[in-house]
Structure 1
């Protein structure tokens, strides 16, 4: 297999993930887009490892998989807490309900 094909596929996956991160308002879809980008990075690392035969890309891919698993766990915990507090997982409303800071005019 020619190494250009996985690189182009990884670029398409990464571009789709970036589009999902910038456009989506749902927190779960946002996490899925980040996972798509991490999967594209894994594809690039493994393809580079196969073509260059240095056996470093697989180790980096393993680290990316571990980071992705930790990101999913932490991200889902944040999404669940956000849903418990607001009954919505729309990311546009995350910082909207803060109380205004009272400024005293005595100073």
Structure 2
């Protein structure tokens, strides 16, 4: 008894929508990063689902590249957030406009 691929795609769409809504609504930069990670994981779920449905390994290979990009985004993004927090004691996205050169 296997779960149909359409259910995985529906779950992926719901997760992606939740992440996109979180990025648009929330102002805390850490929450925004978590929402971006949720969107990337939703895309990974869709890639793996399509790879399974089409019996092709290409989607699973693409997931590894997305994971590498997500890891790099976390390292660079959290480094910037920690540097901003040390200077301003706040990580609200509206306050970051003052950082423009």
Instruction: Tell me the TM-score normalised to structure 1 length.
Output: 0.88
2:33 to 31, 34, 50: 31
Q: CA deviation at 1:98?
A: 6.2
Return the alpha-carbon distance in structure 1 between the equivalents of residues 38 and 56 of structure 2: 25
Aligned residues: 99
Return the alpha-carbon distance in structure 1 between the equivalents of residues 10 and 100 of structure 2: 44
| Inter-CA distance 84–16: structure 2 relative to 1 (3 Å threshold) | same
Q: Hey, what does 1:14 align to over in structure 2?
A: 16
Q: CA deviation at 1:97?
A: 6.4
Q: How does 1:1-107 map to 2 (within 5 A)?
A: 1-96=3-98
Q: CA deviation at 1:96?
A: 3.0
Return the alpha-carbon distance in structure 2 between the equivalents of residues 47 and 69 of structure 1: 22
> Please, which runs of 5 or more residues in structure 2 have no aligned partner?
none
SS of alignment partner, residue 97 of structure 2: coil
Instruction: Tell me the TM-score normalised to structure 2 length.
Output: 0.93
Deviations 1:5-32 (A, max 9, x none): 0000000000000001001110100000
> Please, which runs of 5 or more residues in structure 1 have no aligned partner?
100-107
**Which structure shows the bigger proportion of residues in helix conformation?**
2
